[in-house]
Structure 1
Amino acid sequence: MKKAQYNSVTKILPILFSCGLIVFAASSCKKNESERALEKPDVTIQTSDKTISDWASFFPDGLMDSDGVDVPLERLEGKLVGLYFSASWCAPCHLFSPHLIEFQDQYKEHFEVVLVGRDGVKEKQLEYMKEYDMPFPTTKWANGKNTQSNNLKDKYKATSIPRLVILSSEGQLVIDNAREAIQSTPEDVAELFTNKRKLDELVAANAKILAKQANEAQIELQNKIQTYTRALQEKFPPLDEGHKTTQIAHYTFDSTADDSLEESPAFTLENTTYEDGALNLNGHYFPRDGGYRASLSLADLLYTQFSIGQEFLIREHADVASKSTTIVVGGRSFRWFGLRCNQDGKIELFLNNGRFAHTLSGAEVSLNEWNRVLTSVDLYEGVVKIWFNGKLLPEVKIPEDFILDVIASQAIERDKNFHFTNHSTSETLDGLVDDVVIYDGSLSDTEIVQEAASFGSRWSN
């Protein structure tokens, strides 16, 4: 990573925090603060001058109902809003949802809920809503992704679900997690709808907590940058200018998962079979349910400068049209690198578990046919180069302040692996893989074109 990248991050941090441009989630109010807020209620009706455009900053892609029909943001105007982080695969969510639906229906004049769906597939999110006849809207998907759901999850640190974050009609934090209160003391939550004094006190208490956490987060981020810089210098220094990038592994899967060059470890397979001299994957995630998996660990892998190529065939069926399909993923814990075929049939590059994502122009995957891809990553130069089906695509620029999270983590050594499964979205390639090649560095434009023509025999121009 270029030195200027760290300088730019350090310079902009104070500005971002002082201007309030970085927002961090708050934990719930301390007990004594909440108790004080319950004292001496008045009966002033809560009003709001919040505009629709303000809620648009929370939901830039809009809202929809269980049929996928747009829901106008006017529906939230003048009400307290509960962000309900939930998913169909979450057993505790199924227990809490009926309580929340009943509560919202009883106080719908003052309180609206937005389901912040954590399902990886839009259809499952909508089916979950229909299962419980949820009367409230949910976050809308755009370009095959539920980006605003991911952003809200990060903003409020909703790492566990179910979780209900209640906001004032101005979008200020009122209760960090109202799940237990809705189930045990719903009358205390309902009092917020008519007791402006109590509401204001909770907002003020949370504002103090937010300010404290923002300061702590700034320190944490600065420490992360220092750890990242130190790890780069000690463990991943730039390759020498005279370094000649070479192929260190080639997997042909001729009834074996061994490296044909005999230089690197073999793939570890679970249930996986071979078909027509290629690795066969069945698209199922859990091995205990018959899912096929394959993983490769490389102790000497450089996160900062490497290249990987493969030939792959994605089977065409109904699910392919409704969700993204994993092609290859680097890292089980951090998913620090990956390629996937999105719902539009185009290849998408992602880093840091999708927080950086770029759809590649001119990279349309042919289903039921063989495709060939070769990717070269150089974080020091801040570029990713991708050759796909006979074309060197426009290089992808990495932001100057980009930090590859795994390098500043405790998983820095154990996450040096590649998979055809995304352990974040539970997606596994449904198709065939052949001729996987690994290189010990990044490739120039000339080299990537030459190398792409030299491995594999499945894809034909």
Structure 2
Amino acid sequence: MKFLKKNIVNTILLVLFAVLFFVPDAKAFVLKGFINIGLFSPDIKEEKTVVPDLDGIKFKNAKGEIVDLGELKGKVVFLNFWATWCPPCRAEMPSINKLYTQFKDDADVVFIFVDGDGDLPKANAFMKARNYQMPVFKAESNVPNQIFSGSLPTTVIFDKQGRISLKHEGMADYSSKKIIDFLMKLKAG
């Protein structure tokens, strides 16, 4: 009888680990729990990194509209690289959506969500299925390693002068008061 109970418990644990390993939404659910309890918060430093030239770094949405980072000087830019298959990306999406909802009508703050796979129909379907309203783009030019080196998710926030004010690789809670205050400070400066 003890042998049977031990086998059942082991089987249940094995199934749970398999689900967490193979099902992105399950892994994202667990990671989102870690975000919600405050374990993942981006480190905000007052240090500004100057990118050589933002002109010509372009992103395109499903409508064919192109956004050039060089033309966004004078605005705060929230740039997020993600993918539909990425569990940490999925885990941070609710917090990013909350932040986006708060600032979406603010002309001084621009949000660009870049699908790492460049599959806009799939990325837009992902957003629609989860009731996210964030604008999805794909890279339409080379993106310098200073901005994106390939790690998903990566978030970069530019100040009004086009300097990198925050760069965070990995998931984080972007709906926190700390981030909101940071964006407001960048808007004012």
TM-score normalised to structure 1 length: 0.26
Does structure 1 residue 131 correspond to structure 2 residue 129? Answer: yes
Q: CA RMSD in A?
A: 3.4
Q: Which has the larger radius of gyration?
A: 1
Q: Contact 2:160–2:186 (CA<8 Å) still a contact in 1?
A: no
SS in structure 1 at match of 2:145: helix
Q: Contact 1:167–1:175 (CA<8 Å) still a contact in 2?
A: yes
Counterpart-to-counterpart distance in 2, 1:130 and 1:71: 19
Q: Which protein has greater RCO, CA pairs closer than 8 Å, 6+ apart? A: 2
Does structure 1 residue 107 correspond to structure 2 residue 109? Answer: no
Tell me the number of residue pairs that the alignment of Structure 1 and Structure 2 aligns: 136
Identify the residue that residue 70 of structure 1 maps to in structure 2: 64
Mapping of residues 425-444 of structure 1, within 5 Å: none
SS in structure 1 at match of 2:56: helix
Counterpart-to-counterpart distance in 2, 1:127 and 1:153: 28
Q: Contact 2:96–2:173 (CA<8 Å) still a contact in 1?
A: no
Identify the residue that residue 4 of structure 2 maps to in structure 1: none
Does structure 1 residue 168 correspond to structure 2 residue 159? Answer: yes
Shift in Å at residue 94 of structure 1?
1.2
Structure 1 residues 131, 155: closer, same or farther in 2, change over 3 A? Answer: farther
Structure 1 residues 122, 195: closer, same or farther in 2, change over 3 A? Answer: closer
Identify the residue that residue 85 of structure 2 maps to in structure 1: 89
Shift in Å at residue 80 of structure 1?
1.2
Does structure 1 residue 195 correspond to structure 2 residue 189? Answer: no
Q: Contact 1:168–1:174 (CA<8 Å) still a contact in 2?
A: yes
Over 6 Å off, 4+ runs: none
Structure 1 residues 116, 155: closer, same or farther in 2, change over 3 A? Answer: farther
Shift in Å at residue 92 of structure 1?
1.6
Q: Contact 1:86–1:115 (CA<8 Å) still a contact in 2?
A: yes
Deviations 1:128-176 (A, max 9, x none): 3333344333334xxxxx553xx32734243321221111133210101
Aligned AA (1:170): Q
Structure 1 residues 154, 130: closer, same or farther in 2, change over 3 A? Answer: farther
Structure 1, gaps ≥5 residues long: 1-30, 38-53, 141-145, 201-461
Percent same amino acid at aligned positions? 21
Does structure 1 residue 182 correspond to structure 2 residue 174? Answer: yes
Counterpart-to-counterpart distance in 1, 2:144 and 2:127: 19
Deviations 1:186-207 (A, max 9, x none): 222222333359x87xxxxxxx
Aligned AA (1:164): T
The structure where strand makes up a greater share of residues is: 1
Shift in Å at residue 86 of structure 1?
0.3
Counterpart-to-counterpart distance in 2, 1:196 and 1:152: 23
Deviations 1:301-335 (A, max 9, x none): xxxxxxxxxxxxxxxxxxxxxxxxxxxxxxxxxxx
